Amino acid sequence: PNSTGIARAAQPKRTMTMVTQGRRPLRAALLLAFGGAVCFLGERAPVPRSKDTGRREAVAPVLIALAGLSGGEAANAQAAAVMPGQTLSGPQVDLPDRINADPYELIGMENPEDKKEDYKTFYMKQKYRQDTYQVMKHMKISASLDKGTPNMEKWNTRVKKEMNDWLAIYRRQNVSVGRQSYYSLYSAINTLASHFTSYGPKFPFPNKRRPRFFELCQQVEKYLEKGK
């Protein structure tokens, strides 16, 4: 009787062990299926983001930092920022042909080394409208110079300094800050200056950036005519 009782007592344990062992493959299968679902959810592609929005967000802080603007002025500068490949709303811009002639000869400057002539041609006159037209005229020439143009490096280096002079004078003056022409020209300056910084003054301004640059210049001229 003792041996039979022991056998009966042991029998449920064996049955439980068998049931437990039978559940292990099922549990493993469930875990594998659940893990695969988690991996699939984790590897889903992120929600696509507008390229234009990302580019504007990337460039706006750079523009604002360079200009030293804040508050409402920063908002205006950000609104004027347009990335490469984009154009502003409005009529199409007629791009000028590339220039192969010496830029100094184009403006009638015989000797670029003459300090008096340089002062007369490039230095700011402390008159916003006149200075804005002056620097924009020289910037347009820089953006049109072709590869191998004589004195291109010297010209671009001088125009870069002229742009810095214009910003230094009108960045904080009441006569300019708040004007639409100021923010449009500032964006154009940033476009040309970034090319000089990345590639140096020896290389022509790239064709893909010219439409944006000349459209900004066109807006500057339109705003100046309206006194803005």
Q: CA 151, CA 102: separation in Å to the nearest integer?
A: 6
pTM, entire model? 0.61
Q: CA 220, CA 228: separation in Å to the nearest integer?
A: 9
- Alpha-carbon distances, residue 128 vs 4, 39, 49, 83, 132 (angstroms): 113, 62, 40, 26, 6
Q: Which helix (H) or strand (E) segment is 199 a member of? A: helix 180-199
Q: Tell me, what's the pLDDT at 94?
A: 80
- Alpha-carbon distances, residue 58 vs 17, 124, 132, 148 (angstroms): 64, 32, 27, 34
pLDDT tens digits along 99-131: 999 999 999 998 999 999 999 999 999 999 999
Q: Tell me, what's the pLDDT at 172?
A: 79
Q: Tell me, what's the pLDDT at 141?
A: 96
Residues of the chain with pLDDT under 70: 1-91, 175, 177
